Amino acid sequence: MASSTLLLCTTKTPSSNSLTNLSFFSKPSCLFVHGKRNQEHFKVSCCMGEHNEKMNFDRRDLLLGLGGLYGAANLAPLASASDKLTDEPIPAPSLKTCSTAYIEGNIPVPYSCCPPPLPDGMAMDDVPYYEVPECSQLRVRTAAQVVDQDFIDDYNDAISIMKNLDASDPRSFQQQANIHCAYCNGAYTTVGGKDLQVHFNWLFFPFHRWYLYFYERILGSLIGESTFALPYWNWDNPDGMYFPSMFNQPNTYPDLYDTNRSVNTQNGTFMDLNYVNTEAQTATQSQLLPSGDCSTSGFGTIENMPHTPVHLWTGTNPGTKLSNGNTSYGEDMGNFYSASIDPVFSGHHANVDRMWNIWKSFGGKRVDLTQTDWLESAFFFYDEDCNPWRVKVQDCLDTVKMGYCYAPMATPWVSYKPQKKTTKGKLDPSSVMAAESIFPLSKLDKAISFSIKRPATSRSQQEKDEKEEILKFKGIKHDNKEYLRFDVFLNADKTVNTDELDKIEYAGSYTSLPHAHNASHEFVPRVFNLAITELLEDNKLEDDATIVVTVVPKKGCQVLSIQSVNIELLDC
């Protein structure tokens, strides 16, 4: 890979006097992290440097908030090798394997999501690997709520030009939208004949980073602005927890507008990152303290929450009528095949990408994976000059080397830690059934509580630093055509109010956006892991050999089964 010129972000970004004014919150809605008490306030710098790596942060800052990606553990496969997509690097998909993508079940996408063919005489093995060019000036991605009028004009112009390109041009708006559809709705197959899916596994972050990288460069090229940078939808900050107005002005900026959006995006509605209902509703300031991690057959927790709820909150409500008269399957943002048709998709995923940077900036054990089968995995893209490229995961781990960074915004969630408790004292594990008596569970149609044994108690800090305690749900099966969510609590009984997640007992949530590939792939077993070391500390359960776990169905759990639940110690 070519070496890049590493520069600091020097671009000035607009400030907002209300960024730190949180007094209007009755409770810190979506300031969603169990932060360390009396913790030094932290503001993310534009491009992370060595000084940030030395800051001492409680491991739960992002563990419970922005995806839980606890070190390599939560990005890496936590299940056995048999749960992996493959046991080797995922190669860039061959265009020859690209076929029909599916909206859900056996309902095909009404157009091809496959990319344009390679130049005559070129085979996939002939496509070169991309080398990130040196940059003399970084592209600075700024929060959507503070960009100026000139930027919005340029952005709308760039999207307009992209939409007017010939449909066969790989840079065209439809072809760019098709990329997400192909990688996410079963158009590609990979080694072993398996469907290639970049969600629910360790490909989620690098795929979307590369996707935005080329999308951004194409837009800049179309308007002759080499430093053009995408805005990010700053939904982790109170000022950004509304639908970005720049994307919601159909008369002034028609090319940034999308007709297939929920009523939630209108009239300055405050975002509900705890969004569950698929019926039209007014979003409320409900709490979000998401947690968890992923295996290759499960979610990373930024993907799980808040990534998925933002998609659902923005897309149309399934079953309603679209502007073209068709029945909605959650279009546009609420279904993978159509999500990137909405221009706000890039802003949403730019913030997800930013979370990856923020997480790594906290230092300690928050580092990227080192497994070769991740680093060598590859994707296929066309660049701003219509040239085809293969790209590797290992070449997208440093955004500065990729030529861009994020303008700083206040991150008030860093120092937030819930204080409320649902239960006084400790629940008696003998008052509920043991996990082995409940699982396997054939359906989750009501809240359940069960006791579960821990592998170790009263661990020293050194032992905790070496091994994370993981609550592991194995063999989760459900209908992928439906949105699904269940919440998990420790030391809480079945009467827990899950509409308020600002409780110390809240461990995390499992969510799934509709994404079925075809009728034979509706019930794929998944693993869901929740890191609970600090959660046990907060609930004063460190010395307890057996604890109580409560699982509460929230949406679509009538057709859900879970094979087993146990607690394991995982190397950090």
Chain segment 516-550, per-residue pLDDT in tens: 555 444 456 778 888 888 889 989 999 999 999 99
- Across residues 56-78, what is the average pLDDT? 30
The predicted structure's pLDDT at residue 50: 31
Residue 495 has a pLDDT of 83
Question: What are the residue boundaries of the structural domains of the chain, listed by start?
Answer: 50-77+86-415, 429-571
287 has pLDDT over 70: no
Task: Give φ, ψ of 201 to 5 degrees.
Answer: -160, -175
- Distance, C-alpha 284 to centroid of its chain: 21
Please give the average per-residue pLDDT across 179-204, as a whole number.
86
Contact 246, 152 (CB under 8 A): yes
Give residue-wise pLDDT tens across range 11-59: 333 333 222 222 222 222 222 223 332 233 222 223 323 323 222 223 2
Structure tokens at 229: 């940078």
The pLDDT value recorded for residue 325 is 87
Answer with the residue of higher pLDDT: 191 or 389: 389
For the ranges 199-208, 244-253, 512-521, which has the lowest average pLDDT? Answer: 512-521
Distance, C-alpha 473 to centroid of its chain: 20
Mean pLDDT of the chain: 77
The verdict on whether residue 311 carries a ligand-binding annotation is yes
Q: What is the pLDDT of residue 484?
A: 79
pLDDT of residue 108: 93
**Residue 390 and residue 130 in contact, taking contact as beta carbons nearer than 8 Å:** yes
Predicted pLDDT at 314 = 93
- Establish whether 521 is an annotated binding residue: no
Higher per-residue pLDDT: 549 or 501: 549
Query: What does the H/E/C string look like for 200-250?
Result: CCCCHHHHHHHHHHHHHHHHHHHCCCCCCCCCECCCCCHHHCECCHHHCCC
Mean pLDDT of the 96-111 span? 90
Give me the pLDDT at residue 493, please: 85
Per-residue tokens: 179: 């990329």
C-alpha to C-alpha distance for 367 and 87, rounded to whole angstroms: 22
Range of weakest confidence among 351-355, 404-408, 424-428, 494-498: 494-498
Top-confidence range, 70-79, 242-251, 297-306: 242-251
CATH number, span 50-77+86-415 = 1.10.1280.10
- On whether 41 is known to bind a ligand per the annotation, the reply is no
Percent of the chain with pLDDT over 90: 45
Q: What local confidence, expressed as pLDDT, does residue 365 receive?
A: 64
- Write the single-letter amino acid at 106: N
Q: Kindly tell me if the per-residue pLDDT of 116 is higher than 80.
A: yes
Q: Which positions are catalytic?
A: 180, 199, 208, 307, 311, 336, 349
pTM of the model: 0.73
d(Cα 351, Cα 177) in Å, to the nearest integer?
A: 18
Confidence of residue 186 (pLDDT cuts 50, 70, 90): confident
- Per-residue pLDDT at 147 exceeds 90: yes
State the pLDDT at residue 239. 85
Q: What is the mean pLDDT of residues 328-356?
A: 93
Three-class secondary structure of residue 20 per DSSP: coil
Please choose, from the candidates 556, 557, 543, 533, the residue with its C-alpha nearest in 3D space to the C-alpha of residue 59: 533
Across 103-122, average pLDDT? 92
Tokens of 270: 């405050």
- Pick 479 or 462 by higher pLDDT: 462
- The answer on pLDDT for 192 being more than 60 is yes
What the block records as the tokens of 235 is 């939904």
Candidates 262, 240, 258, 239; CA nearest to 248 is 258
| Domain 429-571: CATH class, spelled out | mainly beta
| pLDDT score for 81 | 30
Q: Is the pLDDT of residue 71 over 70?
A: no
- pLDDT at residue 102 greater than cutoff 80: yes
458 has a pLDDT exceeding 80: yes
Question: In this structure, are residues 209 and 353 in contact, taking their beta carbons and an 8 Å threshold?
Answer: yes
**H-helix or E-strand containing 459?**
none
- The structure tokens listed for 330 are 């959650």
Phi and psi for 511 in degrees, rounded to 5?
-130, 155
Beta strands 293-294; 139-141: pairing state: unpaired
Q: What is the percent of the chain with per-residue pLDDT over 70, rounded to a whole number?
A: 73
Distance CA 15, CA 412 (A): 15
Mean pLDDT of 341-351: 97
User: Is the per-residue pLDDT at 502 higher than 50?
Assistant: yes
The answer to whether 50-77+86-415 and 429-571 have equal CATH topology is no
